[in-house]
Structure 1
Amino acid sequence: MMNNLRFATALHILVLADKFKNEIITSDFIAGSINVNPVVVRREIKFLKEAGFIDSKKGKEGGCFLIKNANDILLGDVYKLVNQENVFGKMNHTNPECPIGKAMNQNLETLFSNTENQLIKTLNNQTLRQFSDQFQ
């Protein structure tokens, strides 16, 4: 799944887990809300579980549930979890003989890194609780 979809999917799962915090919710239920295949949901649940945000129960009565307080989950932490690669993509194979080309990737790396750091800083100003409270 593309990284930009993973963040939205992870947040969707977490909001549902928060809204149904006293229940175990199935990957089928979550997939129906997101409108994706349950396999996609189970893949993201694995990452969220490894990060300690949710836990899951296998079997017929299985599903997932929130184990970390929504006030303690920062959106920037969720973003970093699902975006292990630079969100802007890969660099070009530039011409080392060109005065622009030989310095382009270094300058792009700085630009991308600074921009992503600002994004994470902005996301870390909001908790899952604050985001979840926008939904009825």
Structure 2
Amino acid sequence: MTMLIAFDGSEDARAAIAYAGARIRPEPAVVLTVWEPLLTQTAWPPTAEPMPLPGETWAEEREAERIAGEGARLALDAGLPDARPRAERGAGPVWATIVDVARELDATLIVTGSRGLSGVKSVLLGSVSDRVLHHADRPVLIVPPPSAG
């Protein structure tokens, strides 16, 4: 049994780890950070083929590994045993990589934070957590942003 925690280093992702650690029966966890080469992130339209330059992805991959390691440490501190970091290069949308890794691991649960986007922002920027929820074939826990107070 393995829980998959999507982690991008944001305050919302940190809140999701803290929530899972405090409320979910401890089980091994994989803390996943999905990274994309810079040209993939800026390509338009979204279906455009990524065209990274030679050597371009090294720094991005190292940063993703650092972020995943930070998330794994937070998960261990939150009481989740055997939290392992994993950085994965996305071959498409971030949500699809999360769903694919969850399937590969046969994760019992996917945990993700939510940026709390609504209305036009949600339509323009999309929602990774919403897409994970609607495309995953397993339970998904979406933790809302911490309250401002």
* More relative contact order, 1 or 2 (CA 8 Å, 6+ apart): 2
Q: Which one has a larger percent helix, Structure 1 or Structure 2?
A: 1
The verdict on a shared fold, with TM-score over 0.5 as the criterion, is no
TM-score, length of structure 2 as denominator length: 0.27
Q: Which one has a larger percent strand, Structure 1 or Structure 2?
A: 2
TM-score, length of structure 1 as denominator length: 0.29
